[in-house]
Amino acid sequence: MAINIELIKSLNGRSDKQVATANSLGLRKIGDKTCQPDNPQTKGKVKVISHLIKVTEA
């Protein structure tokens, strides 16, 4: 299984940890989308930046 993640809010003014987490998922600009495996590591990253992204099942 996999999840689709889309960045819907800007990374400007966010903490270094949040920006690094978004970058590790491949999200750099608003509107960027990525498909990631549905595992505990990805879920932890999603939790850190949940207020900046939209997550859907793939």
- Paired sense of beta strands 53-57 and 33-37, if any: unpaired
- Hey, which CATH number is domain 2-57, 3.30.1390.20, 1.10.10.60, 3.90.870.10, 3.40.50.300? 3.30.1390.20
What pLDDT score does 41 carry?
A: 97
Separation between Cα atoms, residue 9 and residue 30, nearest integer Å: 6
| Interval 8-21: pLDDT, tens | 999 999 999 999 99
Burial 15-47 (b: 16+ CB within 10 A, else e): eeeebebbeebebeeeeeeeebeeeeebeebbe
pLDDT in tens, 2-57: 999 999 999 999 999 999 999 999 999 999 999 999 999 999 999 999 999 999 99
What are the domain boundaries of the chain?
2-57
